[in-house]
Amino acid sequence: MSKTNLHANRPLSPHLQIYKPIPTMVMSIVHRITGGALYFGTLLVAWWLIATATSESQFNVVSWVFGSWIGLLVLLGYTWALVHHMIGGIRHLVWDTGRGLDKHTTTKMAVASLVLSIALTILIWIAAFTVL
Protein backbone atom coordinates (compact mmCIF):
# COMPACT_ATOMS: atom_id res chain seq x y z
CA MET A 1 0.00 0.00 0.00
CA SER A 2 1.42 3.40 -0.92
CA LYS A 3 1.86 6.25 1.50
CA THR A 4 -0.70 8.45 -0.30
CA ASN A 5 -3.42 5.83 0.13
CA LEU A 6 -2.76 5.70 3.88
CA HIS A 7 -3.33 9.46 4.18
CA ALA A 8 -6.35 9.49 1.86
CA ASN A 9 -8.26 7.03 4.06
CA ARG A 10 -7.61 8.76 7.36
CA PRO A 11 -10.58 10.53 8.94
CA LEU A 12 -10.43 14.30 9.28
CA SER A 13 -10.24 15.64 12.78
CA PRO A 14 -13.12 18.03 13.57
CA HIS A 15 -12.11 21.67 13.70
CA LEU A 16 -13.62 25.17 13.55
CA GLN A 17 -14.76 24.75 9.95
CA ILE A 18 -16.82 21.68 10.91
CA TYR A 19 -18.46 22.79 14.17
CA LYS A 20 -21.23 25.39 14.31
CA PRO A 21 -20.05 28.25 16.55
CA ILE A 22 -21.87 28.31 19.88
CA PRO A 23 -21.52 31.04 22.54
CA THR A 24 -19.26 29.01 24.84
CA MET A 25 -16.89 28.16 21.98
CA VAL A 26 -16.77 31.78 20.79
CA MET A 27 -16.13 33.06 24.32
CA SER A 28 -13.35 30.50 24.75
CA ILE A 29 -11.68 31.78 21.59
CA VAL A 30 -12.20 35.41 22.61
CA HIS A 31 -10.78 34.63 26.07
CA ARG A 32 -7.58 33.36 24.43
CA ILE A 33 -7.40 36.36 22.10
CA THR A 34 -7.87 38.82 24.98
CA GLY A 35 -5.15 36.99 26.91
CA GLY A 36 -2.77 37.59 24.00
CA ALA A 37 -3.90 41.21 23.67
CA LEU A 38 -3.11 41.79 27.34
CA TYR A 39 0.56 41.14 26.60
CA PHE A 40 0.55 44.06 24.17
CA GLY A 41 -1.42 46.24 26.59
CA THR A 42 1.00 45.47 29.40
CA LEU A 43 3.80 46.77 27.19
CA LEU A 44 1.85 50.02 26.87
CA VAL A 45 1.50 50.24 30.65
CA ALA A 46 5.24 49.60 31.00
CA TRP A 47 5.96 52.31 28.40
CA TRP A 48 3.82 54.76 30.37
CA LEU A 49 5.53 53.86 33.68
CA ILE A 50 9.02 54.16 32.15
CA ALA A 51 8.12 57.50 30.56
CA THR A 52 6.77 58.72 33.89
CA ALA A 53 10.01 57.81 35.63
CA THR A 54 12.29 59.07 32.85
CA SER A 55 11.51 62.68 31.99
CA GLU A 56 8.75 65.15 31.38
CA SER A 57 9.39 65.16 27.63
CA GLN A 58 9.06 61.36 27.44
CA PHE A 59 5.88 61.53 29.50
CA ASN A 60 4.50 64.19 27.15
CA VAL A 61 5.17 61.94 24.15
CA VAL A 62 3.32 59.03 25.76
CA SER A 63 0.48 61.32 26.84
CA TRP A 64 0.19 62.63 23.29
CA VAL A 65 0.06 59.10 21.85
CA PHE A 66 -2.47 57.86 24.40
CA GLY A 67 -4.51 61.05 24.04
CA SER A 68 -4.89 60.72 20.26
CA TRP A 69 -8.03 59.11 18.88
CA ILE A 70 -6.13 55.96 17.93
CA GLY A 71 -4.49 55.86 21.37
CA LEU A 72 -7.86 56.20 23.08
CA LEU A 73 -9.25 53.45 20.87
CA VAL A 74 -6.35 51.16 21.82
CA LEU A 75 -6.84 51.99 25.51
CA LEU A 76 -10.56 51.28 25.19
CA GLY A 77 -9.74 47.91 23.63
CA TYR A 78 -7.19 47.19 26.35
CA THR A 79 -9.75 48.05 29.04
CA TRP A 80 -12.33 45.75 27.47
CA ALA A 81 -9.77 42.93 27.02
CA LEU A 82 -8.74 43.25 30.66
CA VAL A 83 -12.33 43.21 31.95
CA HIS A 84 -13.45 40.45 29.58
CA HIS A 85 -10.47 38.25 30.43
CA MET A 86 -11.10 38.74 34.14
CA ILE A 87 -14.78 37.81 33.80
CA GLY A 88 -13.82 34.79 31.70
CA GLY A 89 -11.41 33.75 34.44
CA ILE A 90 -14.15 34.05 37.05
CA ARG A 91 -16.42 31.95 34.81
CA HIS A 92 -13.73 29.26 34.63
CA LEU A 93 -13.24 29.47 38.39
CA VAL A 94 -16.96 28.78 38.89
CA TRP A 95 -16.69 25.82 36.53
CA ASP A 96 -13.70 24.52 38.50
CA THR A 97 -16.01 24.17 41.51
CA GLY A 98 -18.24 21.87 39.46
CA ARG A 99 -21.10 24.37 39.18
CA GLY A 100 -22.80 25.68 36.05
CA LEU A 101 -21.61 22.94 33.72
CA ASP A 102 -24.92 22.11 32.07
CA LYS A 103 -25.39 23.31 28.49
CA HIS A 104 -28.06 25.90 29.30
CA THR A 105 -26.05 27.52 32.09
CA THR A 106 -22.77 27.58 30.15
CA THR A 107 -24.50 29.37 27.28
CA LYS A 108 -26.08 31.90 29.63
CA MET A 109 -22.72 32.50 31.33
CA ALA A 110 -21.00 33.00 27.97
CA VAL A 111 -23.52 35.60 26.84
CA ALA A 112 -23.50 37.24 30.27
CA SER A 113 -19.70 37.51 30.23
CA LEU A 114 -19.82 39.40 26.93
CA VAL A 115 -22.63 41.73 28.03
CA LEU A 116 -21.08 42.32 31.46
CA SER A 117 -17.62 43.04 30.03
CA ILE A 118 -19.01 45.64 27.64
CA ALA A 119 -21.14 47.24 30.37
CA LEU A 120 -18.26 47.38 32.86
CA THR A 121 -15.91 48.82 30.24
CA ILE A 122 -18.40 51.58 29.49
CA LEU A 123 -18.82 52.30 33.22
CA ILE A 124 -15.05 52.44 33.74
CA TRP A 125 -14.65 54.91 30.89
CA ILE A 126 -17.55 57.04 32.10
CA ALA A 127 -15.96 57.13 35.58
CA ALA A 128 -12.54 57.98 34.11
CA PHE A 129 -13.87 60.87 32.02
CA THR A 130 -15.99 62.09 34.94
CA VAL A 131 -12.90 62.27 37.16
CA LEU A 132 -10.85 64.00 34.46
* 84 is an annotated ligand-binding site residue: no
Rounded CA separation 33/35 (Å): 5
DSSP 66-105: HHSHHHHHHHHHHHHHHHHHHHHHHHHHHHHTT-S-SHHH
Known binding positions: 85
Known binding positions for heme: 85
